[in-house]
Amino acid sequence: MEFTWTEEQQTLRKEAREFARAAVEKHGWHADSWINGYSKEFAREMGEKGWIGLTWPAEYGGGGRPAIDRLIIGEELIAAGAPLAAMWFADRQMGPALITFGREDQQAEFLPNMLTGETTWCIGMSEPNSGSDLASLVTSARREGDEFVINGQKIWTSFGALADYCYLICRTSSEGPPHAGISEVIVPMDSDGIEVRTIKDMTTNRHFTEVFFTDVRVPVHNLVGIEGNAFKQTMRQLEHERGGIDRLVSNQAIYQMAVERADRSDPLIRQEIAALESAYRIGRILVIREVLQQAPSGFSAATKCFCTEHEWRVAQFVARVLGPEATLWNETTKAIAYAPGYTIMGGTSNVMRNILGERVLGLPREPR
């Protein structure tokens, strides 16, 4: 096993660091920048550079580059606070989902505008009474001729107010067990019958929305993959979502600032820094294993749990170092206050531990 970066990888890292520095200078610094830093202009710049769809196969317009290159670029851009949110979901999830499960005409219709950073996508998964237990979702898409008629409500839909498309997980049948009858449908966000209400979270961020669907009509043509088979498709996508570098590096910028401010002659602080530095490196090895597809199936749950709990500990460290200053209302305070979200979004740590126990380690299932 070789743990050093190749010369090309080091060159790429330098280039990404430089690009990130320029982006922050131009578009401002954003804490948790892959979810809180929204700039369409920067998304277009990423597209021009060929850094959206970097790893997608060339026949779909992607860069066909190794997954490790995307990890390096992502690590540098997020650590620096460059605003990635306008293209991140499309690049990380929706593009790969369409490449894997979509039809050729859907790939031709949607991938090019993702690659140029032109379209923003949101994910309509969670509902008021259905979060961890996705199989309990009730938003319905009923077939009427060659259209689906959609009714229901989603919540915590990041960028619902800004997105061009929603990748909607909905129920197309209520027959059989709950996880059967769920489908994935692409819904243009300017469709009649969609109402979006923005939610301001406690950090004053406004990416969350509630999305209400009342008799929204979309062509059956917009179904992705097999009708009623979305549960499996969605689980596959969540593997992309959970095992990436974005789960480890979100608050690296405030960490660097705190390390510089900390009293590094204090042995307790030194121990804390050593523990965080070690955890970061372990987390990165876990992520590398995920992106190289060397981790066991389902293990991204453990990777996500480990990495996001590290991010949470980073936030606590920053708060301790800043002391009362951490209560001043600035970008760092917001980043600290945002930290509980890391271990919730994309599946909570409790649920990740269940997956690890039941699916990876084969322990007995929790009693229902």
Ligand X SMILES: Cc1cc2nc3c(=O)[nH]c(=O)nc-3n(C[C@H](O)[C@H](O)[C@H](O)COP(=O)(O)OP(=O)(O)OC[C@H]3O[C@@H](n4cnc5c(N)ncnc54)[C@H](O)[C@@H]3O)c2cc1C
Q: Which residues here bind ligand X, judged by CB under 6 A?
A: 122-126, 131-132, 156-158, 341, 344-345, 347-348, 350-351, 354
Is-contact 120 209, C-beta < 8 A? no
SS3 string, 313-345, reads: HHHHHHHHHHHHHHHCCCHHHHHHHHHHHHHCC
Per DSSP, what are the bridge partners of residue 141? 150
| Of 214 and 350, CB closest to ligand X | 350
* Closest separation in Å from C-beta 6 to ligand X: 34
Neighbour tally for 266: CB within 10 Å = 11
| Of 85 and 279, CB closest to ligand X | 85
| Of 6 and 129, CB closest to ligand X | 129
| Of 157 and 222, CB closest to ligand X | 157
Is-contact 213 152, C-beta < 8 A? yes
* Closest separation in Å from C-beta 338 to ligand X: 8
* Closest separation in Å from C-beta 195 to ligand X: 17
* Closest separation in Å from C-beta 9 to ligand X: 30
- Which of 232, 146, 222 is closest to 182 using CA atoms? 232
| Of 138 and 282, CB closest to ligand X | 138
3-state secondary structure (DSSP) of residue 169: strand
* Closest separation in Å from C-beta 250 to ligand X: 10
CA 310 to mean position of chain CA atoms: 17
Q: Strands 121-124 and 165-171, how do they pair?
A: parallel
CB-based closest residue to ligand X: 131
* Closest separation in Å from C-beta 94 to ligand X: 11
Phi-psi category of residue 32: left, alpha or beta, with phi > 0 → left and psi -120 to 50 → alpha: left
Q: Tokens 């990436």 correspond to what residue?
A: 244
DSSP conformation class of 176: S
| Of 112 and 131, CB closest to ligand X | 131
Q: Give me the half-sphere count of Cα atoms (radius 13 Å) on the Cβ side of residue 159.
A: 25
- Which of 74, 72, 93 is closest to 33 using CA atoms? 74
| Of 69 and 246, CB closest to ligand X | 246
* Closest separation in Å from C-beta 233 to ligand X: 15
